[in-house]
Amino acid sequence: MQIFDSLSQQSWFITFIPPLVVLIELLAIFSAFHALRHVRTSQAAVAWVIGLVTIPFLVLPMYWVFARHRFEGYREAIRAVGERHVQSVASVRRELVTDANVRTTTLDTSLEYLADVLDTPLCDGNAFDLLIDGSAFFESLLQRIDASEHYVYLEFYILRDDKIGNQLADALLRCVKRGVVVRLLYDEVGCLRLPGRYIKRLVAAGVDVRAFNTRQGFVNRFQINFRNHRKLVVIDGVTAWVGGLNVGDEYLGENSKNLRWRDTAVAIRGSLARKVQAVFAGDYYWAARTDLPEAIWHSEPNISSRSGLAAVCATGPADQRPRATMMFASAAATAKHRLWISTPYLVPDDALIVALSMARARGVDVRVLIPSIADQWAVFLAGYYYEQQLAEFGIPVYRYPEGFLHQKCVLVDDDLVLIGSTNFDNRSLYLNFELMVAIAEPKLIADVAEMLEQDFAESTLSNASGESLRPLFARMGTAIARLFSPVL
């Protein structure tokens, strides 16, 4: 009897498996043709095709999770909200978008050049405070939240149920008790470890808490590789914060590793805050499919209208152009004396390597600052490959040893500063929703220049010409990590 049962099971196995194999092979062939048409670069397309044909069981699910670079439905969601809330969506478009392929500036400055390249409008009437590291950031933010009058909008990639996370939660609950509207967006992947009790506490008190939810809709079921990496706060439409800091004790050097996180943000007062608000509104439209009825779009700043010229650079996988790459490339194209870049991850695409090398060929002081401590080993190892590639063009890469360098900051001559959430890697360039603010205000530029001079002084040159990359095992790890750079 046991022999008969065994033969029956084998017969079922033999009958079932061949059709399954055929089905997977057919899906792999279909996916290979899909890769040839839709994968962003020819090198990546070839890699996916080879993998799909040779090892379809392994590569097929990976392809549909990791190979996509275009986020579906974001623009359509905003249009759908606009059908019911015409004025609200019109305000967002006015704050964020100018006509494509039309010159709107004189192109006389780096900021004007960038604004035309990204089709984003300029605004003046702004004042700025540079916030270096977590203590300055959270002190500024929590004080202003307690002084809010109408609404508070927050959007973070990571929220933690720790000391500073609960200080923020307490501040938001005080707002709700005063009748202030509080809306919070978070990324599900970034907040994967956030306990449900943290969100339930806020929701129970009246805070509008929503996940960004990249997987809305049938087409988006596998969009887990996309992230909303933006970090922003807007209060009453006149004050905003943008930078690289999430909400967690590590930004105060109070985590278990007792490691300093070196990061930077900027506090904004004036008309630029409405543009940051418009970025939040677009993300909220996607998450909630409704508008922000309390949002103020026509407040007048109490600042000289000719001060603090600036623009927002909101980029993401819903863009029809590679706008994040264009942002960095425009900064490189307009630099005349110096181009200083501080980033936690160094995994640039070919276009940015060419842009940096062209700037260096013109005699521009191009230099890059990255961490000497890893928080993501694959990205960290890939960085060694690219720093050696930059060395071939005479571009020095420095590694910061005083904690984990997490700031995202670009300084162009004495004319322009970019501060925000965009890393110098393929994930930020193509897969994440990101936000940078571009500012041409002399005092802020001087403060950033002083800050970066200090950061470089504390760092060591990592890619001196002729030096060996690292021991053999590190070189092997670097080579393997580089293969995965398109999704890092």
* Residue 231 a catalytic site member: yes
One-character DSSP codes across 351-377: HHHHHHHHHHHTT-EEEEEEESS-SSH
Rg (CA), the chain: 24
Helices (H), 86-239: 86-96, 110-118, 133-146, 163-177, 196-205
CA 379/CA 384 separation, integer angstroms: 9
Is residue 57 within 8 A of residue 74, CB to CB? The reply is no
Please pick, among 69, 116, 161, 231, the residue that the annotation labels catalytic. Answer: 231
* Residue 236 a catalytic site member: yes
Is residue 346 within 8 A of residue 397, CB to CB? The reply is yes
Cα 303 from chain centroid (whole Å): 30
* Residue 177 a catalytic site member: no
Is residue 458 within 8 A of residue 402, CB to CB? The reply is yes
- Decide: residue 213, CB within 10 A, 0-12 exposed, 13-18 middle, 19+ buried: middle
Please pick, among 161, 413, 425, 455, the residue that the annotation labels catalytic. Answer: 413
* Residue 298 a catalytic site member: no
Is residue 301 within 8 A of residue 125, CB to CB? The reply is yes
CA 119/CA 319 separation, integer angstroms: 12
Please pick, among 229, 263, 291, 319, the residue that the annotation labels catalytic. Answer: 229
Long-range contacts of 287-291 (CB under 8 A, 24+ apart): 287/185, 287/210, 287/211, 287/212, 287/213, 288/208, 288/210, 289/77, 289/80, 289/81, 290/81, 290/84, 290/85, 291/81, 291/84, 291/85, 291/88, 291/89
Is residue 228 within 8 A of residue 185, CB to CB? The reply is yes
Please pick, among 34, 69, 275, 406, the residue that the annotation labels catalytic. Answer: 406
Please pick, among 34, 263, 408, 455, the residue that the annotation labels catalytic. Answer: 408
Please pick, among 133, 208, 236, 455, the residue that the annotation labels catalytic. Answer: 236
Which residues participate in catalysis according to the annotation? 229, 231, 236, 406, 408, 413
